[in-house]
């Protein structure tokens, strides 16, 4: 599993001109599911995201979690995080999970996260999506190997 986590002031995802998810202060999660991923790895990733302290406290130090600031979560599937560009000019995605597994684990990520976060919004698996965000900081974290 590969995750690009961005701390945002706001973010939204649109499919066919319709907003399918939007949040204010919180995290935009770009989620890539790998061939070897399972529900246990999803749970570990969500639990880690919940505990991360990357919001500033009153002294400007990154000491606060998403729960401490009442933050929200926007989850967007992104298999292209598994692009392997080492050979040739066309990326290979052989390390990405097959679509059926990826969709199942993406849905599980969202459901598991709903028990951990105040608000969880999401995109549409497999759809062409437009993602808009205002990155706070900017603060972006790459997470993998759960």
- Is 80 tagged catalytic? yes
Q: Which of 78, 109, 117, 125 is catalytic?
A: 78
Write down the catalytic residue from 14, 55, 79, 109: 79
Residue where the block lists tokens 């976060």:
117
- Answer for the pair 32, 1: CB distance below 8 angstroms, yes or no: yes
What's the CA gap between 18 and 87, in Å, rounded? 37
Q: What is the DSSP string of 2-50?
A: EEEEEEEEEEEEEETTEEEEEESSEEEEEEE-BTT--HHHHHHHHHHHH
| Catalytic residue ranges | 78-80
């Amino acid at each position: 599993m590969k995750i690009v986590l961005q701390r945002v002031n706001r973010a939204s995802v649109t499919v066919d001109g319709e907003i399918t998810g939007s949040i204010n202060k919180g995290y935009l999660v770009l989620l890539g599911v790998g061939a070897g991923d399972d529900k246990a790895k999803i749970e570990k990733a969500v639990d880690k995201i919940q505990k991360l302290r990357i919001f500033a406290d009153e002294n400007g130090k990154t000491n606060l979690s998403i729960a401490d600031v009442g933050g929200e979560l926007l989850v967007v599937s992104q298999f292209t995080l598994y692009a392997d560009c080492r050979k040739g000019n066309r990326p290979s995605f052989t390390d990405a999970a097959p679509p059926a597994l990826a969709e199942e684990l993406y849905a599980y990520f969202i459901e598991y996260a709903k028990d951990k976060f105040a608000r969880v919004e999401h995109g549409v698996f497999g759809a062409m999506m437009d993602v808009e965000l205002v990155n706070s900081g900017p603060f972006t974290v790459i997470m993998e190997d759960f």
